[in-house]
Structure formats: C-alpha cells, structure tokens
Amino acid sequence: MQLPNSLVIATKALRRNKMQTALTMIGMMIGVATVLTMIALGTGAQNAIQDQVKAAGMNMLVVTAGNYQVKKEKPPDDAIEMSQRRNPEKGMRPHLQFVMFHPEDDPFAVHDHPVAKQRLGDSEAGLGAAATLSLDDAAMIRAVPGVQYAVEGIHENVHVGYGDTRWFTRVHGDGSSLPEVRRSWKFVHGGFYSERQERNKEQVIVLGSVVAEKLFGADNPVGRTVTLWKQPFKVEGVVTSSSWMVVPEAGDDQFDAVYIPVTTMQSLLNLSKLNDITVTTKSTGDVSRVAKTITPMLRQRHNIGANQADDFTVTTQASKSLMKGSLRPDVAQAVIGNVSGLEKVTLDQLGKTLDRSSRTMTALLGGIATVSLIVGGIGIMNIMMLSVTERTREIGIRRSVGAREHEVLMQFIYESVILSVVGGLLGIVIGVIASSAISHSVQWSTSISPMAIALSFGVSAAVGIFFGYYPAREASRVAPLKSLRFE
C-alpha cells in the first residue's frame, strides 16, 4: 500500500527538526501520561471503594450465639396462666390463647429476692456465655443452597509469645476458608492454614501483621514457633490489609490478632461450642433468603419450641451497620424490626450512592483531563504556529516546485497529528508504567482499562487535528512569491 504523499512529506519534515519534534512530543507525552495516570488512579480508587463495600460484607451475614434482643426467660413452672386477647396473628384461636405470665413480670409486685434480670445480668442474653452454636450447625449452614462459605469462629484474648517477647492480642479460632470471606486480606508471608491442618487439629497459626511486627520486627516469621497457652504453634503466614483504606494498627480486630484452626482451639480449650458463624452468600441479593432459611433450621436443630425465642442471632451486614451507625439504638431496632428486606433497601441505597459518587469522580477526572489536554493541544498549536512563521521559506520552496495549497495544509496537519499521536502513544506507555509504579510503591490501587487507553489515544489524535488545523491553514495560505522572498 502506498502511503499518502503528504504523510511522507510530513514525516520527512519532522525528521528535519528533530529537537523541536522531540520536545513537542515530550510535551504531548507528559500530558497524555498524566491524564492516563490520573484516570488509572481515579478508577483504581473507585474500584477500591467498591471492593471495600463488598469486603465490608454486602453478601455477609453473621450467626451469633445467644440473643440479646430477648429479655424474657422461659416461664418457671409456677407461672400463672392468663387469658389474653392480644396478639391475634400469633395463633389460630385468639380467644383461647394462653400466655405464660411470670410473677416477676408484674410491675406492681414487690419481690423479696433479686429478680431473674438482676440475677443473670447480660449473661442471659448469651453474649459469650450462652454458647449455643456448634461445628455441626456450621456444616448444616454450609449445605444451604446459595451459601458460599460458612466459617466458624471462637474469639478469645491471649498472650502470644516468641522468645522473651509477649503480646496481648485477640485469638480467633476460625475455619480454613476465612480468607475467602475476608476479601481485603493479603498475605505478606506464607498463607492460611489448610483444611487438612484444620481437620487434624494441628497447632498452626497465622499472625496479623501487627502481631508479626511486634514479635518479629521485619523478619519473616513463617516456619518459626510461637506460644499460646504455653503451647507451641508453627507460624504459617502473616496477613495484612490489601486495601489502602484499611491500615492495620494495634488494637484492631483483624490484624492485631492471630488465627488458629477452630478445631485446635476447641480441643486445647476443651470447648464444644462456637461464638459465631460467618456466612457469605454467592450473590448479594440472596442474603435475606439465606437468613430466612437458616433461622428455622437452627431453631429446629436447637429444639426451640414455637413460642420460645431464638438462642442465636442472625445479623446481616446491613442491619449491623444500622446498629453501628449514628441512629439511636432504639430507632435502629425499630427499623430493623419493621422493615422487611432491610438489607435489600440498604443495598439499593448503597448502590445508588456508589453510582453517584463514581459519576462525580468521573466528571472530576474528565474535567482535569480536558484541561490537561487543552494545555497540551495549545502547546502543539503554539509550536505549529511558530514553525509556520519559521518555515515560510520552506513553504515557498514547496510551492515553487508545485505543492498545492491543499498539500501544504495536509502536510502541516499530518505533522501535528504525528506529533500528538506519537507523543500520545509514548504517553500511554509512560502512563501505564507510572501507574503500575505508583500502585507498587505507594500501594494505591490503580486500574487501566483498554477503554481509557483507547480514549487517550483518540483524544490525542483529535487534539492534533483540532489544534493543528489553524496553523496548517495559515501555512497553506502563504502566497508562494511572498514566502520565497521571506528571509
């Protein structure tokens, strides 16, 4: 295929002014590289936020042993039966409904002994003490359709020792699939313990990065032995946060912590129950359905009668965040109790918020990118304008040997397009390198999509044409005779 003559001419002309060509290309290159890096950082941040939201557990629900919402106790044997008309939806025959009424619940009664609430304090709610969940419960939950992972959890405080150094921290006895649930995890050294090690109740341990740093400094602890409860544990790995939004620090529950197989913890501490089971669903929309399946299943397994309260709590992340949020606890509870499919609503809102914020981000980036490219384009225009003046004689020479106006125009347009496109391509290369360098050195997540590359390329070509056109037209309009006389 034959290249257009104007393209050949433009290439030759650019080769004549190597320095100027190189400098202009560098200008364009820096512009495009900046734009691309910025887009990479922006989309990276956007993705990171989305990851965080996911990692925060949009598809997660936690089954906790005990039920602190229920303040009622099983009525004692001497409870007085009272006829009640309230609560019509609860039974088939409201007129014959019987409710067990505890004498202690009578607000007017004066008791000569501490009532159940005073005797038991919070322990009746089962936080920690009333451990009701078992490994078998976890296995059953795992078999529920739609469940991705179900990870057992026992949580204690412990002294971890290595040599003379001791560090007081949290120990989590967990199933081996925990890293699949914690999505913003990253292993600095080694990895998590295996399913086989969990089955064999091996004394293996994974350190949070804070613990590893307290005990080992910068050394790689994998293969060393630390002690918990005077028992040796072999270090399998060190885990830290993969997200720049979560920085491991002393006192946090994830990285100032150690992880051992739940089976090992149970046998060493002579426990048979679990504190909680963390469940993830395959899709985020499935959370409510899975929660609704789990509740009756566990009730049945725990032999809870129809009019008895659960001895466990199923918390979805959405309701959890409501509880943790700025809402007053009673308001939050009312909301949780009365809005069915709450997590769906919240997910919806979250999704919308995300959409809005990413649109804002995109608009911001687009604005910055536009300004940079306009600056780059004006740079090209400036150079081309200068070179039209500077190269008047060259134009005259070309016209005298028969170049048409159109051919001079095309030469100058091609020149600026070559400048901007080659500069743009180099900029893309530099931008890709720069963003991967940034994500490696500062641990910021960056993301370069083929779309961003195509866009940068297209825009740099467009800049070349747009800002090259005016100087090129000026060049083509120089009268041949005038340009030959120009000294």
| Binding positions for another protein, rule: CB under 8 A | 2, 5, 8-9, 12, 16-17, 393-394, 396-407, 480-481, 484
CB of 105 or CB of 474, closer to another protein: 474
- Please name the residue that has the structure tokens 């005797």: 119
Closest distance between another protein and the C-beta of residue 23, in Å?
A: 16
Tell me how far, at minimum, the Cβ of 356 lies from another protein, in Å.
56
Q: At what angle do helices 392-400 and 342-390 cross, to 10 degrees?
A: 70
Q: Which is nearer to another protein, 56 or 484 (CB)?
A: 484
- Rank residues 17 and 333 by Cβ distance to another protein and give the closer one: 17
Q: Which two tokens stand for residue 450?
A: 């083929």
Smallest gap from Cβ 16 to another protein, in A, equals: 4
> Shortest distance, CB of residue 29 to another protein, whole angstroms?
23
Instruction: Compare residues 112 and 487 and give the one whose CB is closer to another protein.
Output: 487
* Minimum distance, C-beta of residue 473 to another protein, in the bound complex (Å): 14
Quickly count: other Cβ atoms within 10 Å of residue 128's Cβ: 13
3 state SS for the chain: CCCCHHHHHHHHHHHHCHHHHHHHHHHHHHHHHHHHHHHHHHHHHHHHHHHHHHHCCCCEEEEEECCCCCCCCCCCCCCEEEECCCCHHHCCCHHHCEEEECHHHCCCCCCCCCCHHHHHHHHHHCCCCCCCECHHHHHHHHCCCCEEEEEEEEEEEEEEEECCEEEEEEEEEECCCHHHHCCCEEEEEECCCCHHHHHCCCCEEEEEHHHHHHHHCCCCCCCCEEEECCEEEEEEEEEEECCCCCCCCCCCCCCCEEEEEHHHHHHHHCCCCECEEEEEECCHHHHHHHHHHHHHHHHHHCCCCCCCCCCEEEEEHHHHHHHHCCCCHHHHHHHHHHCCCHHHHHHHHHHHHHHHHHHHHHHHHHHHHHHHHHHHHHHHHHHHHHHHHHCHHHHHHHHHCCCCHHHHHHHHHHHHHHHHHHHHHHHHHHHHHHHHHHHHHCCCCCCCCHHHHHHHHHHHHHHHHHHHHHHHHHHHHCCHHHHHHCC
**Shortest approach of another protein to residue 389 CB, angstroms?**
16
Q: How far is the CB of 470 from another protein (least distance, A)?
A: 19
Nearest to another protein of 17, 194 (CB atom): 17
CB nearer another protein, residue 87 or residue 400:
400
State the nearest-atom distance from the C-beta of 396 to another protein, in Å. Answer: 7
Residue number with CB closer to another protein (159 or 404): 404
* Nearest approach, Cβ of residue 400 and another protein (Å): 5
- Cβ closer to another protein: 73 or 405? 405
Tokens of 410: 């095309």
Instruction: Give the residue with the Cβ less far from another protein, 190 or 480.
Output: 480
Of 20 and 52, nearer to another protein (C-beta) is 20
CB of 403 to another protein, least distance (A): 5
Residue 172's closest CA among 248, 224, 249, 239?
A: 239
386 vs 454 by CB, closer to another protein: 386
Cβ 7 to another protein, closest distance in Å?
A: 10
